[in-house]
Chains A and B, each alone.
Chain A
Amino acid sequence: MAESVSDSSVAADLAAMTEKLTKVVQRLRPGSRVENIVRLTGGANQQMWSFDVVGQGDALPVVFRQASSWNQGAEGIMSLENEAVLIGRAGKAGLPVPEVYEVLKPEDGLGSGYLMARISGETLPPKILRESRFATARSKLAGQCGEVLAGIHQLPVGDLGFLRKLTPAEMLEALYQEYQSYEEPRPMFELAFRWLRDHVPADPDTLALVHGDFRHGNLMVDESGLASVLDWELAFLGDPMADLGWLCVNSWRFGNIDLPVGGFGTREQLFKGYRAAGGQSPDPQRVRFWEILGTLRWGVMCQGMAASFVAGHDTSPERGAIGRRASEVEVDLLRELVPIPERRAFNAGFA
Chain B
Amino acid sequence: MQGLPDNTALLASVEAFLKDQVIPGLDGAGSFRARVSANVLGMVRRYLEQGGVDGAHDEREMLTQLTGKKGTLLGQTAELCHQIAEREVALDDPRLQEYLWRTILARVAVDQPNYSGYKRAVEQWEAAADSLTAPLSDDEPFNPLSGER
What residues make up the interface of A, taking CB atoms closer than 8 Å to B? 185-188, 190-191, 193-195, 250, 253, 255-257, 316-318, 320-321, 324-325, 327-328, 330-332, 334-335, 337-347, 349-351
Q: Are A341 and B94 in contact (CB under 8 A)?
A: yes
Task: State A350–B147 Cα separation when bound (angstroms).
Answer: 11
The answer to whether B125 and A346 have CB atoms under 8 Å apart is no
B101 & A334 in contact (Cβ 8 Å cutoff):
yes
B100 in the interface (beta carbon within 8 A): yes
Name the one of B33, B65, B120, B132 contacting A257, with C-beta atoms under 8 angstroms.
B120
- Give A54 Cβ to nearest chain B Cβ, in Å: 26
7 contacting pairs across A/B (C-beta < 8 A): A255-B116, A327-B104, A334-B104, A335-B117, A335-B120, A344-B133, A345-B97
Interface size classification for chain B: 35 or more
- Is there contact, CB below 8 Å, between B95 and A345? yes
A317 contacts B107, C-beta separation under 8 Å: no
Nearest CB on A from B75, distance (A): 9
Given contacts A188-B104, A350-B61, contact A341 B116 (CB under 8 A): no
- B116 adjacent to A346 (CB under 8 Å): no
Instruction: Tell me, rounded to whole Å, the shortest Cβ–Cβ distance linking B28 to chain A.
Output: 11
Bound: A334/B118 CA distance, A: 10
Q: Does A339 contact B115, Cβ atoms closer than 8 Å?
A: no
A194 lies within 8 A of B91 (CB) = yes
Residue pair A335, B84 in contact (C-beta under 8 Å): no
Given contacts A190-B80, A317-B37, A324-B111, 14 further A-B contacts (CB under 8 A): A187-B99, A194-B84, A194-B87, A194-B91, A195-B91, A318-B33, A324-B112, A327-B111, A328-B117, A332-B117, A337-B91, A340-B128, A341-B98, A345-B94
Contacts of B121 in A (CB 8 A): 331, 334-335
Contact of A324 among B33, B43, B98, B104 (CB under 8 A): B43
Say whether B100 contacts A338, CB under 8 Å. yes
Closest to A187 in B: B80
Question: In the bound complex, how far is the Cα of B102 from the Cα of A178, in angstroms?
Answer: 27
Q: A187-B84, A194-B87, A330-B108 are in contact. Are A347 and B128 (CB under 8 A)?
A: no
The minimal Cβ–Cβ distance linking A11 to chain B, given in whole angstroms, is 19
With contact pairs A327-B108, A341-B132 given, residues A187 and B81 touching in the complex (Cβ less than 8 Å): yes
Choose among A186, A332, A341 the residue that contacts B97 (Cβ–Cβ < 8 A): A341
| B98-A185 in contact (CB<8A) | no
Chain A residues with CB under 8 A of B80: 185, 187, 190
Contact in complex: A339, B117 (CB < 8 Å): no
Chain B residues, Cβ within 8 Å of A341: 94-95, 97-98, 101, 132
B11 within 8 A of A: no
Cβ–Cβ < 8 Å partners of B100 in chain A: 187-188, 191, 334, 338
Q: How far is the CB of B66 from chain A (nearest CB, A)?
A: 8
Write out the residue numbers on chain B whose beta carbons fall within 8 Å of the beta carbon of A191. 84, 91, 96, 100
A253 touches B104 (CB 8 A): no
Q: Whole-angstrom distance between the alpha carbons of A191 and B87 in the complex? A: 10
> What's the least CB distance linking B11 to chain A, in Å?
14
Q: In the complex, what distance in Å separates the CA atom of A26 from the CA atom of B87?
A: 63
Known: A186-B81, A341-B97. A331 touches B118 (CB 8 A): yes
Q: Are B91 and A351 touching (Cβ within 8 A)?
A: no
Enumerate the 4 nearest inter-chain pairs by beta-carbon distance, A residue then B residue, closest first.
A341-B94, A345-B94, A257-B116, A190-B84
